[in-house]
Amino acid sequence: MLDDLQTLPDDPSKLKEMVGALAGELKSRDILIEKLQHQLVGHKRHRFGANFERLDQLQMSFVENEAIAQAAAEQSSPSDNEQKPKRRHSRKPLPEHLERHDTELSPSGSCDECGGAFKTLGEDVTEELEYIPGRFVVNRIIRPRRACTCCEAIVQAPLPSRPIDKGRPGPGLLAHVLVSKYADHLPLYRQSQIFARDGVELKRSTLGRAISPLCLVSFYH
């Protein structure tokens, strides 16, 4: 019937007959689709039993989330001429009650370009959560930015090597979490609860992401 649409008749009565036939064909297809859907539901219920409802809900949730994500991506996708905004971290600041240990890394000597003296423009402070047996501390790595008074060259000391690049956990904290999990068999969610009593909020997912690269390194070596 659909092939006949390429050559539509000019007679209105014949057009009405064709539209009626198409409507009947579509209705019969809808009935067949609904019947097949019911059969599929019955087959899934018979196959998966009590888990069918959960599986169906998960499938519906996945489809809905995918549709929502696609719509959001289409609305928020920048044009070719627009620059993507810089990603911002949503980390909470480390608790103020924790003891702070400051380490200042300053470029020493004089300017390599002209030999002039340096003046301070500002500084970057990197906070690292560390664990000393029995208590938490925060190591603050302070790196002043200095400029030459003669040629205005700007210098800054590099960050020292750390277990996780751009991560907060210090080596002592990571070692404590790994030993507690794999040697003392203390799950991450229980460690998270213990840390919370000290006022340090470290979720189980955060701890898992922190130690997962170290577990892979130890596995392959």
Q: What is the mean pLDDT of residues 196-207?
A: 90
Lowest-pLDDT range of 2-11, 168-177, 200-209: 2-11
How much is the mean pLDDT over the chain? 78
Band the pLDDT of 217: cuts 50, 70, 90.
Answer: very low
pTM for the whole thing? 0.47
**128 closest CA partner among 156, 157, 165:** 165
| Residue whose structure tokens are 């809905």 | 64
Q: How many CB atoms lie within 10 A of CB 93?
A: 6
Q: What is the mean pLDDT of residues 190-209?
A: 91
Rounded to an integer, what distance in angstroms lies between the CA atom of residue 165 and that of residue 210?
Answer: 11
| Residue whose structure tokens are 């907060």 | 168
Maximum pairwise Cα distance, the chain = 98
DSSP label at residue 42? H
**155 closest CA partner among 142, 169, 165, 145:** 145
Task: Give the residue, 49 or 169, on which the prediction is more confident.
Answer: 169
Are 97 and 138 in contact by the 8 Å Cβ rule? The answer is no
Band the pLDDT of 188: cuts 50, 70, 90.
Answer: very high
pLDDT recorded at residue 65: 54
Task: Give the residue, 123 or 84, on which the prediction is more confident.
Answer: 123
Band the pLDDT of 100: cuts 50, 70, 90.
Answer: very high
Q: What is the mean pLDDT of residues 82-107?
A: 78
Question: Is the pLDDT confidence value at 60 over 90?
Answer: no
Pairing mode of beta strands 99-104, 135-148:
parallel
Percent of residues, the chain, with pLDDT higher than 90 = 22
Question: Is the pLDDT confidence value at 56 over 60?
Answer: no
pLDDT recorded at residue 191: 93
What region, left, alpha or beta, does residue 134 occupy, with left being phi > 0 and alpha being psi -120 to 50 degrees?
left
Rounded to an integer, what distance in angstroms lies between the CA atom of residue 128 and that of residue 194?
Answer: 19
What are phi and psi for residue 203, nearest 5 degrees?
A: -70, 160
What Cα–Cα distance (Å) separates residue 78 from each residue in 13, 83, 180? 52, 7, 45
Rounded to an integer, what distance in angstroms lies between the CA atom of residue 80 and that of residue 75?
Answer: 14
Q: How many CB atoms lie within 10 A of CB 131?
A: 20
| Residue whose structure tokens are 């909470």 | 92
